[in-house]
Amino acid sequence: MGATAAALTISGITVEMAAAAVAATVHCSLTINGDLHDLDLEPRVTLLDLLRERLYLTGTKKGCDHGQCGACTVLINGTRVNSCLALAVTQDGNQITTIEGLAANGNLHPMQAAFIERDGFQCGFCTSGQICSAVAMLDEWKRGMPSAVTTHGAAADFSDAEIRERMAGNICRCGAYPNIVAAVRDVHQGSGAQ
């Protein structure tokens, strides 16, 4: 535990008041790629920094660190988020999946294989985020999530415009978009989702 200067109790709950320069740590349990981690965390640590700097899961990339590029995309309980904007302490009890957790039994996830097959990257920095995002995106599609492109209630077509809109949270500065769209489409068709 970090240094604690004082405690404040209101309605039965206790708040640890930090000394000016040192914040109290908070105990959290996170399951990351199937492994349970018990951690004492400073509240200001983002999920992204926890993954990279403390757990050495450096597959998740820090691009802009402001939620604008998507390179840090991970799955929380199966939902895609920007890990740079999520404070790690807020994830207590959650299941986190990173790019390192997608392969199973030594086999690449179909989305990883499709990105290789379609050459869906150049420098590779956005790729972990693109792949995590695309995996969750196909799941959202199967569950009938609307988008700004899909007309409500219409039997939507899995068009390139649809893929691009749904992947808009992931920027590729190399401009590998055509091949990323192709990779996502391959997995969609291969998975038989309609």
Partner 1 sequence: MIPFTYVRPKDTADAVALGTREPASRFLGGGTNLVDLMKMGVEHPAHLIDVTRLPLAAIERTADGIRIGAMTRNTEVAAHPLVVGRYPLLSHALLSGASPQIRNMATTSGNLLQRTRCFYFYDPSYKECNKRVPGSGCAALNGYNRIHAILGASERCIATYPGDMAVALTALDARVIVQGAQPERTIPINTFYRLPGETPHIENDLKAGELITALEIPQPPANSRSQYIKVRDRNSFAFALVSVAAIVAFGENNRIAEARIALGGVAHKPWRVPAAEQALHGREANEDTFRETADAIVRGAKSYRYNGFKVELARRTIVRALLAASETN
Task: Give the interface with partner 1 as residue ranges (CB under 8 A).
Answer: 8, 10-13, 15-18, 20-24, 26, 42-44, 46, 65-67, 70, 73, 79-82, 85-87, 89-90, 133, 136-137, 140, 144-148, 152-153, 164-166, 168-170
Least CB distance to partner 1 at residue 60 (A): 13
Q: Which is nearer to partner 1, 35 or 65 (CB)?
A: 65
Least CB distance to partner 1 at residue 53 (A): 14
User: Which amino acid, residue 148?
Assistant: A
User: 């995106």: which residue's tokens?
Assistant: 137
Q: Which is nearer to partner 1, 77 or 194 (CB)?
A: 77
Q: Who contacts 176 (Cβ-Cβ below 8 Å, separation ≥6)?
A: 119, 120, 121, 122
Least CB distance to partner 1 at residue 106 (A): 29
Q: Which is nearer to partner 1, 12 or 106 (CB)?
A: 12
Q: Which is nearer to partner 1, 124 or 146 (CB)?
A: 146
Phi-psi region of 177 (alpha: psi -120 to 50; beta: other; left: phi over 0): alpha
User: Which H or E run contains 62?
Assistant: none
Q: Who contacts 160 (Cβ-Cβ below 8 Å, separation ≥6)?
A: 181, 185
Contact 181, 189 (CB under 8 A): no
Least CB distance to partner 1 at residue 73 (A): 6
